[in-house]
Each structure stands twice: as structure tokens, then as C-alpha cells.
Structure 1
């Protein structure tokens, strides 16, 4: 799947929003990718996961034993990546602010894990989720995401395989352009923002 094909999937599902958004990273943007919309069609989610799985090197795919995704944003694509790779897929969640395994999910000591996200901007959620897997005894050997919004600057401590890089500008609160500063910011994601 080429970049234009991926963008066509986002456009077809009306998942590319325009306005003034406060991202979970705390930064502001005039664009937001609502991955939940692109993933609400099971066939589209399956196509995107198959394309993302194909980006992983063959040797890496052979090593993997489990897929883990952070809730909420990564749950659907994580599940679809598990299907595409023929692996169990579980998720970590933050009932008290820190990612942890719940719902009877386990990671065996030394399990080779693929972390899967919908969108990576600063990598904060990914690094926190990776830490939870490590604390449970697993070893995250790579991360995959539908979208890399980091501008190629994110360091997750493991190899990173995004399906597409989309680099809309983001701004700190004190550097907003006038057109964004003139409108209230919307918090479109599910994560509380500081």
C-alpha cells in the first residue's frame, strides 16, 4: 500500500479533521487524524493492518510472540495486527494513570512483543506502554504505528515501523499562529491533557 492509498483510506472515512486541536502531547495543531474513524470499518482496518504488517522485516516477524497496544487508541489496530501476524493481541490501560495489564492479560517472561499504536507524535504513550511490558517481563523488540506524526524525530528505544508519516505542524501554547490562537482548542482524543 502506497502513501496515497493510505491517505485515501483516511479521506474516505473522514478521519482527517481540520480546526484547532489540543493533542494528547500537549501541542496544538490545525489538523487531527481521528484514527478511530478510519478503523471503524473492519475491512478497512484489516487492509491497513495487513499493509502495516508487510512493512515489518521478515526476520522480525519470525521473532514476535505477542502484540500489545495501549488503550484506547491502539486497541483496534493492535487487534488487527495480531490477526495479520497470527499472534495474540492484548492491551495495556491506565486505570490510575499508569499503563498496566488487566483483564487477565499476561506476558510471559522473555516474550518478544510488538507494540502497536494508531498515531505516534512525541512517543510518550509508546514509551510508557513499553515500560509496562518490560515490568511484566516482556521484551518489546519493535513498534509499529499507522501514522508517524513525529517528523521522524521520535526515539522509542526500539525499531519503529510506521505505515505513513504525516507531518502537520504542531505548536506549543506560546507559539500559536494567529489563526489558531483566535479559536478555542478542541481535545479530540480520549487521553486527558495537562
Structure 2
């Protein structure tokens, strides 16, 4: 099955059951599945197609957002199954899969289900910290920190701090972070090795006065995520 994914049309990928495959997928195949569900966009070269104004003020030619994928149960289940392949044998039924609110929620649930262990998310507070108040982690239980996308590592560190603060005893963490996508450029964070399905390099971008897409005639627009949300799922 693996050899056919990259030759399939996006619509075919969306209509194919990869959830129950026993095959481990490559990073290229993971990227292709994410793209087919709208999680990765790259400018086509068509001047009629706009491109994003980044928060830095630069212009971008690529846009990556796993929240588009998280809307659909099938691709989340596929990615969780693939992550579970990397962790089976390490995580016990009594252990926890925990991630930060809100982006990681569906991935934490599906990964916990795939591993057959407990799962929960910390709660985002007004000061942007992450709080742990609903459950107790026992001394015999371990915590696997999980993120949908690791960019700076700040969210996972806030999650760790919230879990420690919310439990009276000493919490044991796995020396791992299960990051579905790693955009950080790092191999580890705070002593936790990052296990990722996909590593993403920094997207191509330009200073406004040097933007190749503007020279092409493409219009730059702010709030590019809203633009993508208004579009249909990709076709090829």
C-alpha cells in the first residue's frame, strides 16, 4: 500500500482507509496525507492565487496548519495510529498521554485510544499558562507529553509545569515528546527527545520588497488561515 500513496490523487487519499493499515508510513507519505486534508498549502505559481502576509511582516509561499486536519476524525486517527507504532511497548495502560489545549485535543484523545492508555489535556488559563486540576496522577503512572505541532516547545513546557503544579506527589515523565509534526528544528526539549511523524523546515518567505510572488502578480493577504478555511479541500 505504501508505494501507492504518493501516486494517488488527494481525493483518493481521502477516500481510502489507511487507519487500519499495518504499514508504517514514510515522512513523505505523512506529508501527502496531511496535504490532502488541507493541512499544508504551497503556492501553485498561479498569479491569481494569493499568498500570506506573515505575523513577522514578511510574505510566505507556504502555509502549514494542522488544525485543518484536526477537524476530520479519519486523518487524526491515521496519524495517531502511525504515532502509536513508534510508542507501542513503551506506554502501559496505566500511563497518561497529555497535551496542551486546544490544538492537541483530538490528537491526544486518538493517541491515547490507539495506545490503550489514559489521556487528558491541560487547560489554557487567561495568562496563557496550562493548568492541571481534574485528575490525579499516581506515583506508579507516567506521563507522555504530546503536541500536534511543536514550534518553540513553549506549550509543552507549560503543560509540564501545569502537571507538576497540579499533583501533590512527584510526577514521572517519559523522556520523550510525541510531536505529530516537529517544526522546532530541535531534537529535544528540556531533556525530552522529540519523536515526530514529520519534520518541517522553516517555510519559504521573503521581505515584502523582495517577494517573488508579488513580482509574479500574486496578491498578499492578511489572515491567510481564514482564506484557506473558505476554500474547498485540495485537488490535484
Task: Indicate conservation of the 8 Å contact 2:94/2:118, yes or no.
Answer: no
Task: Indicate conservation of the 8 Å contact 1:21/1:188, yes or no.
Answer: no
Q: Which runs of 5+ in 1 are unaligned?
A: 190-194
* Separation in 1, partners of 2:110, 2:186: 24
Question: Aligned to 1:118, what secondary structure does the other structure show?
Answer: strand
Cα separation, partners in 2 of 1:170 and 1:73, compared to 1, 3 Å? farther
Q: Does 1:93 align with 2:93?
A: no
Report the counterpart of residue 192 of structure 1 in structure 2.
none
Task: Indicate conservation of the 8 Å contact 1:56/1:161, yes or no.
Answer: no
1:65 to 75, 91, 95: 95
Q: Does 1:124 align with 2:157?
A: no
Report the counterpart of residue 82 of structure 1 in structure 2.
112
Q: Which runs of 5+ in 2 are unaligned?
A: 1-24, 43-50, 215-219, 227-236
Q: How many angstroms does 1:110 deviate by?
A: 5.6
Task: Indicate conservation of the 8 Å contact 2:179/2:197, yes or no.
Answer: yes
Task: Indicate conservation of the 8 Å contact 1:118/1:147, yes or no.
Answer: yes
2:52 to 20, 26, 42: 20
The list of structure 1 runs, each at least 4 consecutive aligned residues, that deviate by more than 6 angstroms after superposition, is none
Report the counterpart of residue 26 of structure 2 in structure 1.
2
Report the counterpart of residue 231 of structure 2 in structure 1.
none
Report the counterpart of residue 136 of structure 2 in structure 1.
106
Cα separation, partners in 2 of 1:155 and 1:166, compared to 1, 3 Å? same
Question: Aligned to 1:61, what secondary structure does the other structure show?
Answer: coil
Q: Does 1:35 align with 2:66?
A: yes
Paired residues in the alignment total 182
Q: Does 1:179 align with 2:207?
A: no
Cα separation, partners in 2 of 1:4 and 1:131, compared to 1, 3 Å? same
Report the counterpart of residue 166 of structure 2 in structure 1.
136
Q: Which structure would you say has the larger Rg?
A: 2
